[in-house]
Amino acid sequence: MTGTGAPVGHDDGTPSTSTIRVLLVDDQALLRMGFRMILAAEDDIEVVGEAGDGATGIAQASALRPDVVLMDVRMPGTNGIEATERIVAETPSSRVIILTTFDLDEYAFSALRAGASGFLLKDAKPGELVGAIRAVASGDAAMSPRITRRMLEMFSGQLPQDGGAPAAAATGRDDPRLAHLTARELEVFEALGEGLTNAEIAGRFVLSEATVKTHVGRVLGKLGLRDRVQAVVLAYETGVARPS
């Protein structure tokens, strides 16, 4: 991350320095207040702003440059999907966590495709909320790639591609977006598309976890992806990963 408040992460996903700056975007004032109270108890997290709708959230993200945005997916006016897309494009140093009421939400899936780094249930426990914010701030994802895979299997055939056109035929390894990957990096990308952890990838290819971590970093960098969740989404969009 390049934001001024960006923390340096440990291997366990816990930032080691600086303060994580958070923006709350939700049309329910009581929910925002609850989140603020939970986060106020953490020494390494600061709520820098609030917004009651997506349009205000976009403006606040641009002005405040938070490290993490907690974004309600269902709001009147500018919803969380559109707001996420705008924030990811206009304020790339800010990462978005989608707030939703159930774990297989078509709106949350659309927000992941728009660039969110994961989603969190609104009834999550305080520790889960704090852990998700720290994970995303350190460059990880706020949800299991396996949950992303489940969402893709449920919704990828139903939702239009960018621009509203029907889903194009999958091209798999021949997709031009993957042209810069080496043979090994392509194998790792395919494994990411399956939702495998670094340990599972290491076991499959008989590599050390440190080597896998290096490969994963190169794959994300070459493909311009923010995290592993985005890798799963791209794997489905390119046809490298397919519903089981």
Summarised one tens digit per residue, pLDDT across range 139-181 is: 777 766 667 667 767 766 654 444 443 344 446 778 888 999 9
Q: Are 212 and 202 in contact (CB under 8 A)?
A: yes
**Residue 48 in this model has a pLDDT that exceeds 90:** yes
pTM of the prediction? 0.72
At CA 200, angle to CA 95 and CA 189, rounded to 5? 55
CA pair distance 75, 140, nearest whole angstrom? 26
**Residue 38 in this model has a pLDDT that exceeds 50:** yes
DSSP state of 160: -
Residues 211/213/215/217 CA torsion (nearest 10 deg)? -150
List, as own/partner pairs, every contact residues 31-40 make where C-beta atoms lie below 8 angstroms and the sequence separation is at least 24, other chains included: 31/72, 31/122, 35/70, 35/129, 38/126, 38/129, 38/130, 39/129, 39/130, 39/133
- pLDDT tens track for 100-136: 887 667 787 788 888 888 888 888 889 989 998 998 8
